[in-house]
Structure 1
Amino acid sequence: MADIQVTKLHTLTGHNDCIYALVEGCDPRYFYTGSGDGMVVEWDLLNPKDGKLIAKLPHSVYALEVDLKKNLLFIGHNFEGIHVIDLENNKEIWSLKITDQSIFDMKAINNELFVAMGDGVIAVIDIEKKSIKKHLKLSSKSARVMAFDKTKSKLAIGFSDHSIKIINTKDYTPEQLLNGHSNSVFALGYSPTQNMLVSGGRDATLKFWDTDSFLQTNNVIAHMFAINYLCFREDGMFFITCSMDKSMKIWDANEHKLLKVIDKARHAGHGTSINKVLWSTFNQTIISISDDRSISIWKVDI
């Protein structure tokens, strides 16, 4: 493996339960976390020790999304719906009860919010009208994760039925069905620079898909247990995965090769499942969140 230097810069605490949700702000200096304790917290990468409470909800928060154009933070409130925060004033401006299911992921695309839910439905919400525009029933099992291909206006959705479905965001039509995983799909990411979709899940494998042909181009046994999430660095050269096996791994996006393992034994990493990772576009640090109720910020020299 490559000689990559990893330094833990900060360990942030304050959540009282497992941390599930992580998203970068409109200003990437800030990021947001959501937890089983119902708290949503804003963190400042220039002053990371002091988190600011943005919302406190009665149920757990698995999903957060930021609308970069409108400066809005969407909170997925399990068994209820969504809450919308104006980040200019850090105030809730509207909410919408849309489900009695868990909300696992959200994507703001143009004037619509796509919401992935535990009953296999994708709810499409008109952000301007603050109302549900469409329900897309795509599976009998949970819709767990989404990734958006801006160049082709395609939304990839990973399901607990082991499949990945690709829909056209302009007319909501299903266009591709990708089968290959042997268990739930939890992680999806489009390369910023290649015609490539990477997927991972409970089967602990990474699969690489060509986004023109939708053929699988590679398959890598990547972790010991479930892959919970993956995130590309903004230049597309590398991506990072995190797992239920308590480790994070950095990969060469071109060669599909493992470059670095970050774990508790070698780097004082997380002690339990790592649920999400973010490769910051502000300063290229890596942010990780875990069932151990902590957030870690890592400096990586590649």
Structure 2
Amino acid sequence: MSHRIQVNKVGTFTGHRDCVYAIEKASNPYQFFSAAGDGLVVQWDLQNPDQGKLLAQIGASVYALHFEEERQLLWIGQNFDGLHVIDLVSQKEIGSVKITESAIFDIQIWEGYVYVAIGDGTVIMLDKETLTIRKQLKLSDKSARCLAINIQSSDLAVGYSDHQIRILDLKTLTLKHTLEGHTNSVFTVAYSPDSQLLVSAGRDAQLKIWDVGASYSLYNSIVAHMYAINHITFHPDGRYFATGSMDKSIKVWDALSFRLLKVIDKARHAGHGTSVNKLLWTDYHGRLVSASDDRTLSIWAIDDLP
């Protein structure tokens, strides 16, 4: 039986002066980070909605953040410049490396490596201690837009603007699978918490669900939004996932049946007035955070109904 849920908007965070492109978790479940076209990187507290803490002010837009819990470091992808690393304990930048003059769209970390998806179609693998490039792979002339890691299968999923998803080996970056099915740029890829499925979406407004154990065969395809889907995030326990779209809406889905459970928009829930760019489903009372072109972050309580 499918879940029934109730949605309430419980807060709005303001302070960014441009479109908000990135949200990332923090070590405390009630905290998170955001970054925007204004180059500001801010730490927020769900328990104190009015108090954002400025961590960095960078001279270019930021599309990608990644929190490294082990060392309490925040990795920042500065467009047209490179990676910056902030020590969250000392609140100081402890490293930077100029790896590209293109946009940095995503950053992921596994064991001793940092993986970066770049606008020129390159995927770069760096040593996270020395910031030296270990491997780089260019399989397309179109942008590498998004990354997802499956530790269980040792896979790195990369979504590209050439409409394809390529599955690479985490250790060697060798190509394992090429997934074809999208008809436009792939903006977001996410593995289910049990690592069994890969969910992808992008400019064609379709959700594609791929079966990892069956060599990534296409399991399901859903016309999900009116316009581009910018991001997918799973609920921490894997029951639901949410999609954010250029059509200004957030949709909540049952992760087992792929049934649409809720549409969060301006008319029904005082949602965003412009594109929803990024989502984060936190461990703090199941709060969902959304970031938008409208320069705000919205906080949503999503609760099960009996």
TM-score > 0.5, shorter chain as reference: yes
Q: Is the 8 A contact 1:2 1:260 kept in 2?
A: no
1:12-60 Cα offsets, whole Å, 9 max, x none, are: 1000000001100122221110100000000011112110000001100
Q: How does 1:272-291 map to 2 (within 5 A)?
A: 272-291=274-293
User: What amino acid is the match of 1:198?
Assistant: V
Q: Which amino acid aligns with 1:77?
A: Q
Q: Return the alpha-carbon distance in structure 1 between the equivalents of residues 78 and 40 of structure 2.
A: 10
**Number of corresponding residues:** 302
Q: 2:225 — aligned with what?
A: 223
Q: Is the 8 Å Cα contact of residues 242 and 274 (structure 1) preserved in structure 2?
A: yes
TM-score normalised by structure 2 residue count: 0.97
Q: Is the CA contact 1:278–1:287 (under 8 Å) kept in the aligned structure 2? A: yes
Amino acid at match of 1:42: Q
Could you tell which deviates more after superposition, 126-135 or 225-234? 126-135
Q: Does 1:129 align with 2:147?
A: no
The letter of the residue matching 1:217 is Y
Task: Answer whether contact 1:39 1:56 (CA < 8 A) is retained.
Answer: yes
TM-score where L is the length of structure 1: 0.98
1:71 alignment counterpart:
72
Superimposed CA distance per residue, residues 92-129 of structure 1 (whole angstroms, 9 cap, x where no aligned partner): 11111111000000001111110100000011111111
Match of 1:244 among 243, 246, 251: 246
Distance 1:168 1:68 in 2: 23
Deviation at 1:3, TM superposition (A): 4.3
Deviation, 1:153, is 1.6
Code of the aligned partner of 1:267: H
Q: Secondary structure at the match of 1:212?
A: helix
Sequence identity (%): 51
Q: How do residues 17-56 of structure 1 correspond to structure 2 at under 5 angstroms?
A: 17-56=18-57
Q: Which segment is superposed worse, 255-264 or 3-12?
A: 3-12
Counterpart residue type for residue 219 of structure 1: S
> Which range is displaced more, 73-82 or 150-159?
150-159
Contact 1:159 1:185 in 2 (8 A): yes
Indicate the residue corresponding to 2:205 in structure 1: 204
Secondary structure of the residue aligned to 1:99 is: coil
Q: How does 1:22-171 map to 2 (within 5 A)?
A: 22-171=23-172
Q: Which stretches in structure 1 are left out of the alignment for 5+ residues?
A: none
2: distance between equivalents of 1:68 and 1:122? 23
1:233 partner amino acid: H
Query: d(CA) in 1 for partners of 2:131 and 2:190?
Result: 28
**CA-to-partner distance for each residue in 1:49-88, whole Å, 9 max, x for gaps?**
1100000011000000011212110000000001000111
Q: Which amino acid aligns with 2:66?
A: E
| 1:136 to partner: Cα distance | 1.1
Q: Distance between the aligned counterparts of 2:163 and 2:175, measured in 1?
A: 16
Q: Structure 2: which 5+ runs fail to align?
A: none
Residue 176 of structure 2 corresponds to residue 175 of structure 1:
yes
Choose 72-81 or 170-179, whichever is displaced more: 170-179
Q: Distance in 2 between matches of 1:243 and 1:278?
A: 14
SS at match of 1:272: coil
RMSD of Structure 2 on Structure 1 (CA): 1.1
Residue-by-residue CA offset, 1:241-280 (whole Å, 9 max, x unaligned): 0000000000011101100000000000000000001100
1:134–1:194 Cα change, 3 Å: closer
Q: Quote the offset at 1:2 in angstroms.
A: 6.0
Cα deviation code 1:128-182 (max 9, x no counterpart): 1122222111211000011111211211000000000001111221100000000
Distance 2:23 2:66 in 1: 8
Q: How many Å separate the matches in 2 of 1:71 and 1:134?
A: 25
Letter in structure 2 aligned against 1:269: G
Which amino acid in the other structure matches residue 84 of structure 2? Answer: H
The residue type equivalent to 1:20 in the other structure is: Y
